[in-house]
């Protein structure tokens, strides 16, 4: 197990190298630059700014220096926030985004798993149709529409929760539900499909023939095998929850990485955009590794070597 993890972690290095390289050249070849403003800067001012950030050097020199700095853990200075580094900005925003993403994923797993479990056990019953209607709603309604709808109902109409902002657990409920509903719909569909496949297998009939309670048959025998497709989905979904939180953070005025990412993309803040892409890519690789380990833990037939 340790050797497998070590090889997977070592494999992160070439993958991140390719991501950094592609992202760097795509950003630099895109039209515009970090100092292209509505009002043109004097040539001397522009030259001084480019010299300060070493943008006057050849592109390959900039690339090699940036790659070397990244693998030393230095993501460089921010062009939009001159007195801050990308490391500092990510350090401020990432804990907020990670907390929001974790809560959104908890909503997706708990809500979607429960809906899919009920739908699979009660096939073609009212509960099944209700759960799949929820899944259809979750897939169809984007989070930038669902968020304002929840605001209008629970914040403005009922007054139960704050409209936006950050500070207490009450500020977390609406953004987490908004973020997790879309993924809960997919979790519900995958769980239902897994339950329908497992519930008719021989070992389930054997468990029922032993006289076990139905809840024991479903939860202890059927569910661990039924959720394997969900586990496979959780790796990319976890990273997608974090990247999708950019929109939710903007809607609910949450001080996460989203505001830095959106502002840096609009203002061609090369280092901030690249730093965010690198951070999200590293999280995606990490989540996929954790999912593979969890898959091996749940299914004895899977071995990692």
Q: Please report the pLDDT score of residue 34 as a whole number.
A: 67
Residue 299 belongs to a domain: no
Average pLDDT over residues 15-28: 87
d(CA 291, CA 238): 10
d(CA 7, CA 255): 36
Average pLDDT over residues 257-279: 79
Strand partners, 77: 85
Longest pairwise C-alpha distance within the chain? 85
Average pLDDT over residues 247-275: 80
pLDDT, tens digit, for every residue of 97-120? 888 888 888 998 899 888 888 888
Contact status, residue 35 vs residue 41, Cβ threshold 8 Å: yes
Residue 222 belongs to a domain: yes
pLDDT, tens digit, for every residue of 160-176? 888 888 878 888 899 99
Mean pLDDT estimate for the chain? 81
Q: Please report the pLDDT score of residue 1 as a whole number.
A: 66
Contact status, residue 228 vs residue 295, Cβ threshold 8 Å: yes
Strand partners, 85: 77
**Residue 301 confidence class, pLDDT cut points 50, 70, 90:** low
Residue 277 belongs to a domain: no
Residue 164 belongs to a domain: yes
d(CA 41, CA 37): 7
Residue 90 belongs to a domain: no
Q: What Rg value do the Cα atoms of the chain yield, rounded?
A: 24
pLDDT, tens digit, for every residue of 175-223? 999 988 888 888 898 888 888 888 877 777 787 787 777 777 777 777 7
Q: Please report the pLDDT score of residue 263 as a whole number.
A: 73
Contact status, residue 43 vs residue 28, Cβ threshold 8 Å: no
d(CA 90, CA 242): 13
Higher pLDDT, 22 or 59: 22
d(CA 78, CA 292): 36
Residue 275 belongs to a domain: no
Which structure tokens are listed for 150? 């929840």
Residue 29 belongs to a domain: no
Which CATH number fits the domain that encloses residue 169?
A: 1.10.3720.10
Please report which residue ranges of the chain form alpha helices under DSSP H.
Answer: 2-29, 43-52, 59-71, 86-121, 126-140, 143-150, 170-198, 202-209, 214-216, 223-226, 228-251, 257-266, 270-298
pLDDT, tens digit, for every residue of 36-48? 655 666 667 667 7
- Name which of 67-76, 192-201, 294-303 the model is least confident about: 294-303
Average pLDDT over residues 81-107: 84
The SS3 assignment for 124 reads coil
pTM: 0.77
165 CB-near residues (< 8 Å, 6+ apart): 171, 252, 253, 254
Average pLDDT over residues 18-22: 89
Residue 192 belongs to a domain: yes
Of all residues in the chain, the percent with pLDDT exceeding 70 is 90
Average pLDDT over residues 258-281: 79
Quick check: 246 pLDDT over 80? no
Total domain count, the chain: 1
Average pLDDT over residues 89-103: 85
For residue 122, give its domain range: 96-255
Of all residues in the chain, the percent with pLDDT exceeding 90 is 1
Average pLDDT over residues 219-230: 78
Tokens 């073609």, residue? 124
Q: Please report the pLDDT score of residue 248 as a whole number.
A: 85
């Amino acid at each position: 197990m340790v050797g497998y993890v070590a090889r997977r972690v070592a494999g992160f290095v070439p993958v991140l190298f390719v991501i950094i390289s592609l992202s760097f050249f795509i950003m630099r070849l895109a039209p515009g630059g970090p100092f292209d403003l509505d009002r043109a800067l004097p040539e001397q001012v522009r030259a001084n700014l480019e010299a300060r950030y070493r943008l006057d050097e050849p592109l390959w020199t900039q690339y090699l220096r940036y790659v070397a700095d990244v693998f030393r853990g230095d993501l460089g200075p921010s062009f939009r926030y001159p007195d801050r580094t990308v490391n500092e900005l990510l350090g401020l925003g990432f804990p907020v985004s990670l907390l929001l993403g974790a809560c959104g994923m908890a909503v997706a797993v708990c809500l979607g798993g429960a809906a899919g479990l009920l739908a699979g056990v009660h096939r073609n019953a009212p509960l099944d149709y209700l759960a799949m209607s929820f899944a259809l709603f979750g897939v169809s309604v984007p989070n930038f529409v669902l968020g304002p709808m929840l605001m209008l109902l629970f914040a403005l109409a009922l007054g139960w929760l704050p409209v936006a902002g950050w500070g207490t657990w009450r500020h977390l409920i609406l953004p987490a539900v908004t973020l997790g509903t879309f993924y809960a719909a997919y979790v519900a569909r995958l769980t239902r499909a897994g339950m329908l496949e497992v519930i008719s297998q021989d070992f389930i009939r054997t468990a029922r023939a032993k006289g076990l309670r139905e809840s024991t048959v479903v939860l202890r025998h059927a569910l661990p095998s039924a959720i394997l497709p969900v586990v496979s989905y959780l790796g990319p979904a976890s990273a997608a929850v974090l990247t999708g939180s950019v929109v939710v953070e903007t809607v609910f005025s949450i001080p996460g990485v989203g505001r830095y990412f959106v502002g840096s993309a609009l203002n061609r803040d090369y280092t901030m955009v690249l730093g965010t892409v690198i951070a999200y890519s590293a999280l995606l690789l990490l989540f996929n590794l954790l999912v593979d380990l969890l898959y091996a833990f749940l299914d004895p037939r899977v071995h990692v070597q």
